[in-house]
Amino acid sequence: MWNWNNNLSLEMNINKNLVDNFRKYAKISGTLFIILGAVGIIFPTFMSFTTLAFVAYLMLFAGISAGWLTWISNKNDWAGWLKSFVLIVVSLFMIFYPMQGIAALGLLFAIYFFTDAFAGFGLAFSLKPQKIWWMWLVNAVTSLILGFIFLIGWPFSSLFMVGLLVGISLLFDGVALLSGGMFLDTAAKDDKTEKDDTNETEA
């Protein structure tokens, strides 16, 4: 772990443990995201059904878990039973009616893109004036544009657009993560060189 680094912002210097963990996993995650994004762009329909299956079974697991927790904690908790019921019904709807499920999922992903854009803008401006801030800005603008494009074609283009837009978003997220990891590696190397030079001067 490095000491105060002039290449990093105030927030990044304060949260050194978070930065170290990010630096450790950013390049691996970025590479995986780039691969998944490329698959989604080349095979958008496959990515649409894959995304639908992942979300549906995740919701099914969450619904069963919520029901089990309600059963063992408070059987009279109607809100817990309602949550479990809704999650299970929606997940089964997506599994047995995949076309309608993809259309519904498409609307959710449009909301996701707008949320991702909002978070991306916040992160970009928090990193400014670091060299990589514009990468997160491009990522945020891309998510915003994708959200608008998706709404224009919804629901008829959901089968194609869900996989394509998820792939594009994953690709840009992967590039941003990979760039962030490389930037932090450079900052760590510069910091180590600076400390070595300081030690040699003191010696």
- Which tens digit of pLDDT belongs to each residue from 69-110? 888 888 888 888 888 998 899 899 988 998 888 888 888 878
pTM over 0.85: no
Q: What pLDDT is recorded for position 199?
A: 53
**Above 70 in pLDDT, residue 21?**
no
Cis omega before residue 44 (within 30°)? Answer: no
Cα dihedral sign for 79, 110, 174, 160?
positive
Supply the DSSP string of 27-55, one letter for each residue: HHHHHHHHHHHHHHHHSHHHHHHHHHHHH
- The residue among 176 and 68 whose pLDDT is bigger is 68
Q: Is the pLDDT of residue 3 over 50?
A: no
The predicted structure's pLDDT at residue 135: 79
Q: For residue range 135-180, list pLDDT tens digits in order.
A: 788 888 888 887 887 788 777 777 888 888 788 888 888 888 888 7
